[in-house]
Structure 1
Amino acid sequence: MSPDDYCAEKVKASASSFTAGFRLLDAPRRQALNALYAFCREVDDVVDECHEPAVASAKLDWWRTEIESLDGGQPSHPVTLALAQARKRFDLPVEQLAEIIDGMRMDLELERYPDFARLQLYCHRVAGVVGLLSAEIFGYRDRQTLKYAHALGIAFQLTNIIRDVGEDARRGRIYLPQDELARYGVAERDILAARHTPEFKALMTFQAKRAREHYARAFALLPALDRRAQRPGLVMAAIYQTLLDEIERDGFLVLDRRTFLPPARKAWLALKTWLAA
């Protein structure tokens, strides 16, 4: 199996909403985005699937060495071999790829976030940076597009946090800021026990409002000059915003279930957004 095929299989297996716009890209950009997404999945899986923190830390160290090998070394993993080709085509900064690993390492060190400022750093590393790298692959002429891409990445991560509250709690992690739980009168024990209280719904309504503000900020930053090149991100945004709408319509019942959009609906949103952009 070639490195590109390995990454494509990794993307296909994820069935993520994030990948819906990939198939609308030309082959070099699709392969580069597959490599970036496969890398994110590999390092995220280290944290989620390795139950010994010391072992997970060692594996992240190994991935950092692999990423550093993109600068004149010899990468060995199929994902980093694919990233080497992507970097050659699109000049992807190694330091930004390494910063994603820094974000994953935060999951080994923190299970709670005292406030949004601390959470924002995590979102920057695991999602904002991915937005920046994606923008490089899609292409742009106005550097303000990078500000748009970063803000959109944060919006995606905030949506993921809302969707995955229950799943994350079962792994022992709560990404909702602790000071906001206190402000809305939400007890950690209710989240861990999957109790949907009126206080929890109010807290999640606030989280959704913040996510929508980040989407609005991102769209306001996107220069018209680069709108067509950045269509894949707009496709992802249409799907993620629809997912957020569905979660809110269901009353934020995210503690004991996970909301999905059917593949046909995602495909329709992708095509509609692509043609309109």
Structure 2
Amino acid sequence: MAVSNLVVDESAPDAATVTSGSSFYLAMRILPAAQRDAMFQIYAFCRAVDDIADSDAPRAERSAALERWRVDIDACYDGQPRPALTALTREIRTFDLRREDFHAMIDGMAMDAAADICAPDEATLDLYCDRVASAAGRLSVRVFGMSEDAGHELSHHLGRALQLTNILRDIDEDAAINRCYLPYELLAREGIAATNPIAIADDPSLPRVCATLAERALAHFAKADAIMDAAPRKAVRAPRIMSGVYRVLLERTLERGFDLPRTSVAKPRLRLLWIVARYALF
């Protein structure tokens, strides 16, 4: 994806290759072939719109590229996809994927493309999490074969748990691109001025804000676990792995702490492989 003259790629990407660098790749690999292929297509879409939102192209170009994706998704549902989206259209039909969930993902990326997010209020942060994370979950649980109500609830809680983990892990990386997703209300409670992301990231009171957000993430993980405990085991093997991987990342982030200087959080590969083996084999 070019960063200075965004054009939606008309060629069909290799969805498996696009997905291979994802934290979710191992969870997808353990699925039966039909489900695995569908998840690769969903992830390739999510990656494409995320790349647009995170590019350094002019905002108008990013917004236009995202709107092109909205038109492309509608074309899939109208039975007239561009060639690169023929496979995605097939998965939409096979698993009855919902148009509004694809649109919600685009809406979330449009929030990043429109302006640098800094200290959103609680409602805006929750909406953002729903769009960029839980919407992908709502697409995924239909592939996994979960019941409607349980799948929707799992998407709500696990999506928010994963996105809050990302926010806590990536404070410095986000600040470097002039973003801060920590909510205004929590910052104000600790006397942190929501002026700019770098100042927020450097504030000595930041760990108290992060501790509160981490508690929320853990609560969402716990609710997701309860939903998966009550679901058929086969339907939740992949989300179990996704949850396990991100819970490890949250644990590592909390072990690192939020005082300066902060180091990057690495994925503990051997532990992640154990998580995959646990849910894939037993």
Q: TM-score of the superposition, structure 1-length normalised?
A: 0.89
**What is the match of residue 102 of structure 1?**
107
What are the residue-to-residue correspondences of 1:184-195 with 2, within 5 Å? 184-188=190-194, 191-192=197-198
Q: Go from structure 1 to structure 2 and tell me whether the alpha carbon gap of 1:190 and 1:74 turns closer, same or farther (over 3 Å shift).
A: closer
Q: Which residue of 1 aligns with 2:18?
A: 10
Q: Which amino acid aligns with 1:218?
A: A
Amino acid at match of 1:6: D
1:205-228 Cα distance to aligned partner (Å, 9 max, x none)? 111111111111222233624333
Pair 1:89-2:97 in alignment: no
Tell me what 1:28 maps to. 34
1:179 aligned to which of 185, 208, 213: 185
Q: Is the 8 A contact 1:195 1:255 kept in 2?
A: no
Q: Which residue among 144, 159, 162 is the counterpart of 1:156?
A: 162
How far apart, CA to CA, are the structure 1 residues paired with 2:212 and 2:83?
A: 42
Could you tell me how far apart the structure 2 residues matched to 1:192 and 1:77 are?
Answer: 43
- Partner of 1:114 in structure 2? 120
Q: Is the deviation greater in 201-210 or in 103-112? A: 103-112
Question: How far does residue 189 in structure 1 lie from its aligned partner after superposition?
Answer: 6.5
Equivalence map 1:213-224=2 (5 Å): 213-222=219-228, 224=230
Q: Which residue of 2 aligns with 1:230?
A: 236
What is the one-letter code of the residue matched to 2:22?
S
For the pair 1:43 / 2:65, whether they are aligned, the reply is no
Contact 2:97 2:139 in 1 (8 A): yes
DSSP-derived class of the 1:83 partner: helix
CA distance in 2, matches of 1:174, 1:47: 15
Match of residue 202 from structure 1: 208
For residue 265 of structure 2, the aligned residue among 233, 239, 259 is 259
Give the secondary structure class of the aligned counterpart of 1:222.
helix
Greater Cα shift, 52-61 or 191-200:
191-200
Which 5+ residue runs of structure 2 have no aligned equivalent? 1-10
What amino acid does structure 1 have at the position aligned with 2:51? Answer: D
User: Are 1:24 and 1:232, in contact at CA under 8 Å, matched by a contact in 2?
Assistant: yes
Work out the CA distance in 2 between the residues paired with 1:204 and 1:195.
Answer: 11
* Pairwise CA distance, 1:58: 0.7
* Structure 1 Cα separation of the partners of residues 60 and 166 of structure 2: 26
From the superposition, tell whether residues 131 and 152 of structure 1 become closer, same or farther in structure 2 (CA, over 3 Å). Answer: same
Q: Compute the displacement of 1:204 (Å).
A: 1.1
The answer as to whether partners of 2:118 and 2:194 remain within 8 angstroms in 1 is no
SS in 1 for 2:76: coil
Deviates more, 1:108-117 or 1:169-178: 108-117
Specify whether residues 88 and 34 from structure 1 end up closer, same or farther in structure 2 by C-alpha distance, changes over 3 A only: same
Correspondence for 1:52: 58
User: Which amino acid letter does the alignment assign opposite residue 176 of structure 2?
Assistant: R
CA separation of 1:193/1:143 partners in 2, compared to 1, >3 Å: closer, same or farther? closer
**TM-score of the two chains, using structure 2 as the length reference:** 0.88
Q: Which amino acid aligns with 1:8?
A: A
- Equivalent pair of 1:113/1:178 in contact (CA under 8 Å): yes
Question: Structure 1 pair 85/50, CA: closer, same or farther in 2 (3 Å)?
Answer: farther
2:8 corresponds to? none
Q: Secondary structure at the match of 2:24?
A: helix
Residue 254 of structure 1 deviates from its aligned partner by 8.7
Q: 1:62 aligns with which of 68, 89, 94?
A: 68
Aligned length: 271
Aligned-partner SS, 1:16:
coil
Give per-residue Cα distances to partners, 1:71-95, cap 9 Å, x unaligned: 12422263x2221121122111122
**Quick one: which of 123, 126, 130 aligns to 2:129?**
123
- Structure 1 vs Structure 2: percent identity of aligned residues? 38
Q: Is the 8 Å Cα contact of residues 175 and 201 (structure 2) preserved in structure 1?
A: no
Instruction: Name the CA distance, whole Å, in 1 between partners of 2:207 and 2:221.
Output: 21
In the alignment, is the contact (CA less than 8 A) between 2:142 and 2:151 conserved in 1?
no
Q: Which moved more, 1:160-169 or 1:138-147?
A: 138-147
Letter in 2 for 1:134: S
